Structure 1
């Protein structure tokens, strides 16, 4: 039994698996691009967005009188099956590819056409009744269909990060409230500075991440500006008058999102700055997140020869040679994800810069890199929250003792006893390894009652 069918394109005949819903151009992509382990089938949200684009296009073409009802109904039904998550295995091509996304667009066109053919009672590959290019791709080009689908998929995916980030904010905020009465030393340049509470420290962590939520959302909304109807270079060649606006409106209705047509389609077809902007927003978040993880590792260092201010949940034995060692593995893995996000931003920037004239052919690597960044960053944020932040505890007595032993508390007393006395006490405390508290009493600078009042956390932690 013949397990292949023969299909033909510009380059000639090629064998395609007889049961495959994809066709000749997809098969060429399979043969040409054996680059990574990242296949289009692993990104169902992208496939669904491609189906949404094709569905809006066929409905627009029918409304404008370019396609008959029979073909329209079959293509629409095929697109809806893809929107429901069917046929994922029919998208086996590598995400890294040449051709500016042509292979992705044709993969979608061929799969939809062959599903439609079966619904009309024909065999796969019997394209005279429904053609991938002339019917499924009608009034489109890869150069508008591919970036539109990509942007819509990225917009949906972006919600993974903001949802994860919002949950992490609330988790840190709860810890801030839990630790609001725990006094500790603040530090600048890794040196004792002035007292604060552990709650204030965690509140700062929470607040700095909260600020990134609207920032990410603002940049994600740029993905809703699309170039449908631009066709090859933005002039709209081979698309009928009114197609661009109508197709965009149908996409907006289908997705229930404020999708809008770009003001200048020539500019929008070659411009990839929206991808750069969102990658930059993720990089900004990654820098903040990595800094927080650095702080958590420092604060938990020890348990005997480090800061030992907080305890991170123990997740695994830390050494194959040192008994009893437990490492801060969750902040460590999040640090590494953040490094990857920062590196991915450079990849996207270089790909965007490599655009030439009316098209940027590097969009496939932009697509893969953005999908990867969104996935691993949202996973890392969830991991940090669930496996680390929610289980953090404070070493309250140790923190309090460190404050009273610290040279830094003399800064809080500076307005009371003067800079000269403060300097003298600080110097003696450091040289003799004695506490500021004891020396102030010894020199009769303040009474014990006065000193206890001034060093009360309520009087040290806010302007007064």
Structure 2
């Protein structure tokens, strides 16, 4: 318990980059536990009596089953207690903004060019769905992480371990942690391969990619304040420039994107490491542990920070959104089914050439009765499915 509480952290001195099985770390733990037990029993530290690091602390175990088990346990605990709650919080915040912005009509953008109108709330509903799917993907790896190789000892056969050792110990750990740990169905797979860790890394990478997309959209929509898109107002967190007074940068989004880039890089390490399992043992376990656990922690902290310090404080600049959507050449799109593609294209070209809006030119040309024109160029229906049919 003292080890779990971190009271003996100073005695764990082994580096991440060590033997590929993690034996150095395992023996470090065995020796710390043995010596602390000796100390409590009134013996001499370092005497290896009456508690021996191998004969007693490591009884029925091998680094080859303990280390991969510990990696999976820690990963599952971090996912359940840190990452999933952070993503659920972010999903809730994005969903709230989707509802709040549902009446804000703005210009859509495809290929970074003006497209047909969309509601700001619709865009945020897409972001919320990305996070909801991220939660599903992360939840999907819990089953494989819950399977523990413990009990396989050196090569998966269970030599020198009591036949019931793994089942009893894993059941006790599941009860203690309230996590669904079970004994691996096949110890040779669980120790010879690290596919569960690679799978988890891939899910984390996908979440990181989603968060980068969301963050990028938000910071571009908030660009400005005068010479950018400016459809969103982002909360100011800190002064943005050491030389330009009054400048405010999207620092929370930038920190999120950097964290996600780190996670994507860590996934590459996990992928390469997963390939280096020779016969009955993977030889990259410590670096896999480091990259997997740090990725979970970084994503959780970043998602929580993004939700609380950026998304929660976002506001729509309704006036700016209305100005931009009215100027868009894409407003000719609902006219095309009524006046024909070529006629609509001609209006778009003249609008671009003269600077007049599509609405102004349509009125000047009197292509349709005013009532029908207003109906066709009503922005809200343009954000919903349907085709305006030409009147007889």
Q: Same fold (TM over 0.5)?
A: yes
Q: Partner of 2:72 in structure 1?
A: 151
Query: 1:402-421 residue pairs with structure 2 within 5 A?
Result: 402-421=324-343
Q: Partner of 1:195 in structure 2?
A: 117
- 1:174 and 2:174 matched: no
Partner Cα separation in structure 1 for residue 135 and residue 320 of structure 2 = 35
Q: Partner of 1:63 in structure 2?
A: none
Partner Cα separation in structure 1 for residue 4 and residue 288 of structure 2 = 23
Deviation at 1:241, TM superposition (A): 2.6
SS in structure 2 at match of 1:230: coil
What TM-score comes out, normalization by structure 1 length? Answer: 0.80
Q: Partner of 1:448 in structure 2?
A: 370
Q: Which has the higher contact order (CA 8 A, sep 6+)?
A: 2
Deviation at 1:389, TM superposition (A): 0.8
SS in structure 1 at match of 2:235: coil
Partner Cα separation in structure 2 for residue 147 and residue 204 of structure 1 = 37
SS in structure 2 at match of 1:82: coil
* 1:363-392 deviation per Cα after TM superposition (whole angstroms, max 9, x unaligned): 000111112111221111112111111111
Q: 1:254 to 1:428 in 2, by over 3 A?
A: same
Task: Tell me the C-alpha RMSD between the 2 structures.
Answer: 1.6
- 1:94 and 2:22 matched: no
Q: 1:99 to 1:192 in 2, by over 3 A?
A: closer
Q: 1:317 to 1:121 in 2, by over 3 A?
A: closer
Deviation at 1:84, TM superposition (A): 4.5
Partner Cα separation in structure 1 for residue 5 and residue 109 of structure 2 = 54
SS in structure 2 at match of 1:103: helix
Query: 1:287-298 residue pairs with structure 2 within 5 A?
Result: 287-298=209-220
Partner Cα separation in structure 2 for residue 341 and residue 248 of structure 1 = 30
Partner Cα separation in structure 1 for residue 59 and residue 334 of structure 2 = 74
Partner Cα separation in structure 1 for residue 170 and residue 84 of structure 2 = 26
Partner Cα separation in structure 2 for residue 448 and residue 240 of structure 1 = 87
Partner Cα separation in structure 1 for residue 73 and residue 248 of structure 2 = 43
Partner Cα separation in structure 2 for residue 81 and residue 334 of structure 1 = 34
Provide runs of 4+ in structure 1 moved above 6 Å: none
SS in structure 1 at match of 2:333: helix
Q: Partner of 1:233 in structure 2?
A: 155
SS in structure 2 at match of 1:383: helix
SS in structure 1 at match of 2:108: strand
Structure 2 unmatched ranges of 5 or more: 387-392
Partner Cα separation in structure 2 for residue 208 and residue 389 of structure 1 = 15
Structure 1 unmatched ranges of 5 or more: 1-79
* 1:154-185 deviation per Cα after TM superposition (whole angstroms, max 9, x unaligned): 11011311111111111111111111111100
What TM-score comes out, normalization by structure 2 length? Answer: 0.94
SS in structure 2 at match of 1:212: helix
- 1:340 and 2:279 matched: no
